Structure 1
């Protein structure tokens, strides 16, 4: 079998193409915001609220005094109005902050005919929907490079406006962000950077006592390589163009490298105690949002759900 020698063209493509796609993303932000709200509302109907008794400053409810409890816990003013003794409970408040990083680099604008949406659009919907759900549960959420951590209910509208104004961001992991100790970081991106760069970046973030949740967002074509014949591949980040005379001849090598990348990313997540999920854009956005919410709101210990699933990879 004669295999045509691949050709490499280093001529940079016109920047107008990425600019056009960025403009399209900006124009679609209202629709993506609506999708995020729908995803959050759908999931919210199927989960229990996070409200429960615990350390905090906000009054939650009165309950009957139970035998054996310290008498100093009795609320005598409320008890005076009834024949029972009552205890004033405060609402449990999360002590940690959740950061969400949405990769807005040029490679995230790819979409094949097999995907339901571009990777950037899916990342935006997942990120905004998760932000909405966590804030409803009383968490403080920040979107890296967009908004500082807060519990404001209009946070996703603010983030959507900022993304629409500046839809293209850097492709580097958020290694310079001043994360607080014991905060959580959700990474939403295709993670197609060089493996050494990924491993160094994620290890550095984890070394600052940040707990991570990695969601690799891929188009189905990036996993199955359904190309045949003479095919031109374009790297939106570097501007390189790669032309294969017979694309099917390099499918095996490509799939092997993707499998090795997956294995090393999973092994790194295992070692760091992070969770790792793969999401394909031909699947519903609800699936990764529900999985992330479960990991981030695992009972009284916000890491309980994540720890149980750390390092496990699911294709959703």
Structure 2
């Protein structure tokens, strides 16, 4: 039993160095030398000088810097309070789908984006956690357990983020295809909003899921094998399928709008760097 457990553990850990290396490479390619999402606030670290305004009292003027110019300047420091970001990365069976052997499964892209974002945030001195049961912590030591947790798969057909466990007044990022039932997602987002949590929904789709290019006799089966549908005229389903996908996207957009959250869409044939940069900028704008 001990040998069997060790073999399972080694098999689970095997892809971890590669995943972490990919995530760090992606993070470095998007924001080389990143030092966090800087903003003005309380702290001792100098950030910038800015021209003084009529609302700035004499005590805020940096007279030494102002003496070298014909205008008054205020010395601003950088906000040093660490922010908290909680990730949820969908690893259910539906996320294992890819429409081509030349494209990665949706789950692989979600893992990569989630871990690369964590690398950037931790480098910036932020706290990062992972739902359902990894509390937010600072420092590079958080990367190893985070990578290990992301390597595990979920046996369910569709994933849903668990309600609770997101610290109040923090930020959250959910990465999924969001093609399963939406009730649990809506409850989780509502609970988070009640805790004054700001968030981002990142919908990850394979291009085939957008196009529905199937013709003639086709068999559609869920990734777990629990659902199966056979048709002789797949092309007859195309319009209805696209309408339902559009309705799902509209529902997600409405949920984000109602909650004050943001929503991003990423396709697995697109460079992951585009999604990571958009996600980083979205989080940065929320501070």
TM-score by length of 1: 0.72
Alignment of structure 1 residues 1-316 onto 2, 5 Å = 27-45=14-32, 50-51=37-38, 54-56=41-43, 59-61=44-46, 68-69=58-59, 91-94=78-81, 96-113=83-100, 116-145=103-132, 147-164=134-151, 166-168=152-154, 171-237=158-224, 239-298=226-285, 303=286
Gaps (5+ residues) in structure 2? 1-9, 64-73
Contact 1:103 1:169 (8 Å CA) reproduced: no
Structure 1 residue 117, shift from structure 2 partner? 0.7
Which is bigger in relative contact order (C-alpha 8 A, separation at least 6)?
1
Gaps (5+ residues) in structure 1? 1-22, 75-86, 305-316
1:140-163 CA-partner distances (Å, limit 9, x unpaired): 111113632111113223211233
> What corresponds to 1:15 in structure 2?
none
Computed over aligned residues only, the root mean square deviation of the Cα atoms, in angstroms, reads: 3.2
1:107 counterpart SS class? helix
Instruction: Give the whole-Å Cα distance in 2 for the aligned partners of 1:194 and 1:225.
Output: 20
Instruction: Give the whole-Å Cα distance in 2 for the aligned partners of 1:269 and 1:162.
Output: 27
Instruction: Give the whole-Å Cα distance in 2 for the aligned partners of 1:63 and 1:215.
Output: 33
Contact 2:103 2:268 (8 Å CA) reproduced: yes
Instruction: Give the whole-Å Cα distance in 1 for the aligned partners of 2:135 and 2:259.
Output: 25
2:45 counterpart SS class? strand
TM-score by length of 2: 0.79
